[in-house]
Structure 1
Amino acid sequence: MKIGINSPVVVQLPGAFSPWEADAGIAELGTIAEAADTLGFDFLTCSEHVMVPTEIAKQRGGTYWDPLATFGYLAARTTRIRLATQVLVLGYHHPLAIAKRYGTLDLVSGGRLVLGLGVGSLEEEFALLGAQFEGRGAIADDALKALRAALSQSEPEYDGPHFSFRDVMVEPHAVQDQVPLWMGGRTLRSLRRAVELADGWVPFGLSPAELKDMIDRAGVPDGFEVVLAPATALDPAGAPDTAREQLGTLEQVGATSASVRIAADSPSHYVEQLHALAEISAGA
């Protein structure tokens, strides 16, 4: 099972981030990214919200760094670790806009892009951006097909119910022959969408029993990535046995990758924790 790092600083959910993250900037994040890269972790994450209403931010948080700008910087500080949006909301973007912007990121990072994508649930944000909330599932399905057709292509063509294009050029474009697409969500429908139209599933807010049931019912194919997160932040230096147990639980459920949060009280402590987690991973 591969291990990716649910990046600190870039998303600050109430009760789920450490006080030092509120004052940290890109320099601290870059140092952490370099350590994760050197130690062999599989990916870093960055999520997307353009805005969150102040009342909703009390539950969901209000700090969300822009993935494209963040990963553009981190790509220059790292050499091998993958850069995973977790997630972009499909309804906020035309597929060709994603193909161009994130295809450029794939190019400048040397083919390290993973596109984590979601249908979206925050109606107020859809309204602010002029995006269609009703019927967003069907629109997302068409957007996924259009995006698959557009990524890695100089002259993409697609004709679907919501998106259609031909006789256009997208340069630069992704250098990977097939950019991995991971679908977010927490329902069996989201997993089936991922199996049908994507390469992986990144669920949230589900128990191990619920996850195992869904994975068994969906019948995921070989090579499909199931990216699961431990219920709590790991403390690999302070509680290594607990960290091993949490990772082992994910693997038993069916995870091919773990997306982990790290408990730390400073950027330097975070790097120490990464070293301890690498030792646990090497000994698994």
Structure 2
Amino acid sequence: MARIWPEGRLVYGMQLPIQSQSAMYAEKWEKEASVEDLAEIARTADRSGFAYIAGCDHVAIPRRLADAMSTIWYDPVATLSFLAGITENVRLMSHVAVVGLRHPLVSAKAYATVDRLSGGRLILGVGAGHVQEEFDAVGADFERRGPVLNETIDALKAALGTDEFPVHHGEFFDFEGLGQQPRPVQDQVPIWVGGSSPAAVRRAATRADGWLPQGDPRDELPAQIAKVKRLREEAGIAEPITVGAITEPLYLGEPDWHVGRRTLSGKPAALAESLRAYGAMGVDQIQVRFRSRSRAELTDQMAAFAADVAPHLN
């Protein structure tokens, strides 16, 4: 499918806070945050030219992982549908939906509805998942989640296209003659694959419209990007792939509190110069995250980024 954004232009999006609160990235203030906080952050992204806002997906977290992951994971379909009603331009992305937990027709019905309600703004990010108890609880196959995801992507492409009666015949799923309305507004909902394992990289290169690497250091990204493009070329796929990257945490200005060793902080010009390196290595979209101590500080950071950094990314 065609690119969502012009080739050669680096755009920026973000995964929303509050809706998922892993100890790896959640700020302390998020635990007591409200739905209105989430809504205002989404509206700020919409006003500030963010390319997308994203939500995560987990059904249930086992006790052994609850301290590290928390159990706060909003449902992505419900969350994106809510956000569709209070935003106008920003795209809405699942980053990422563990679609192997559900039959592809169930996922297609839900996400086609999101695309319809949002006026065609959905990006469906998908991933294999990693929590075995979650798969076991819903009767999904954890051991074969990779092959199941591969086929699920193929089935979703059929079910999220223009045909009211999609057709898919595979090893795990088989459907024909079953109609689904509403159809997506987009002729084909873009499907992006998350993950940086060899299997995920191959999956993105050969089956997806975009790749969402997970935590690859800057110095390793160029080789990974080259691999994605080589695998895509070897598979005979001519359509371009949208390459993403998750940046280091950001803080505009000189913080008077400890923002973390890896956080990029300082003047807008310096941050823009640092982030332009992603575009130079072949990245099309960067997912940014701002250190903050409150909703107000976060929205101030977002607005300042849009005003003072974003114009200099290209």
TM-score normalised to structure 1 length: 0.94
Where in structure 2 are there 5+ consecutive unaligned residues? 1-9, 233-237, 255-265
Residue 90 (structure 1) aligned with residue 107 (structure 2): no
Residue 207 (structure 1) aligned with residue 217 (structure 2): yes
Over the matched positions of the two proteins, sequence identity in percent amounts to 35
Match of 1:41, SS state, is: coil
Inter-partner Cα distance in structure 2 for 1:178 and 1:106: 10
1:241 Cα shift? Answer: 5.0
Residue 268 (structure 1) aligned with residue 284 (structure 2): no
Inter-partner Cα distance in structure 1 for 2:239 and 2:221: 18
The aligned counterpart of 2:252 is 236
Moved over 2 A (4+): 57-62, 220-223, 236-246, 248-254
Inter-partner Cα distance in structure 2 for 1:6 and 1:227: 13
Once the two structures are superposed, residues 33-65 of structure 1 have per-residue CA deviations (whole angstroms, 9 ceiling, x without a partner) of 111111111000100001111221223332211
- Contact 1:28–1:267 at 8 Å: present in 2 too? yes
1:114 Cα shift? Answer: 0.4
1:17 Cα shift? Answer: 1.8
The aligned counterpart of 2:153 is 144
Alignment: residue pair count: 283
Inter-partner Cα distance in structure 2 for 1:139 and 1:15: 28
Query: Residue 168 and residue 272 in structure 1: after superposition, are their counterparts in 2 closer, same or farther (change >3 A)?
Result: same
The aligned counterpart of 2:36 is 27
- Contact 2:93–2:125 at 8 Å: present in 1 too? yes
Query: What are the within-5 Å matches in structure 2 for residues 12-161 of structure 1?
Result: 12-152=21-161, 153-161=163-171
The CA RMSD over aligned residues, in Å, is 1.6
Match of 1:190, SS state, is: helix
- Contact 1:47–1:65 at 8 Å: present in 2 too? yes
Query: Residue 161 and residue 222 in structure 1: after superposition, are their counterparts in 2 closer, same or farther (change >3 A)?
Result: closer
- Contact 1:99–1:174 at 8 Å: present in 2 too? no
Inter-partner Cα distance in structure 1 for 2:221 and 2:69: 22
- Contact 2:215–2:246 at 8 Å: present in 1 too? no
Match of 1:218, SS state, is: helix
Query: Residue 61 and residue 69 in structure 1: after superposition, are their counterparts in 2 closer, same or farther (change >3 A)?
Result: same
Query: Residue 245 and residue 58 in structure 1: after superposition, are their counterparts in 2 closer, same or farther (change >3 A)?
Result: farther
Inter-partner Cα distance in structure 2 for 1:107 and 1:15: 33
The aligned counterpart of 1:280 is 309
The aligned counterpart of 2:207 is 197
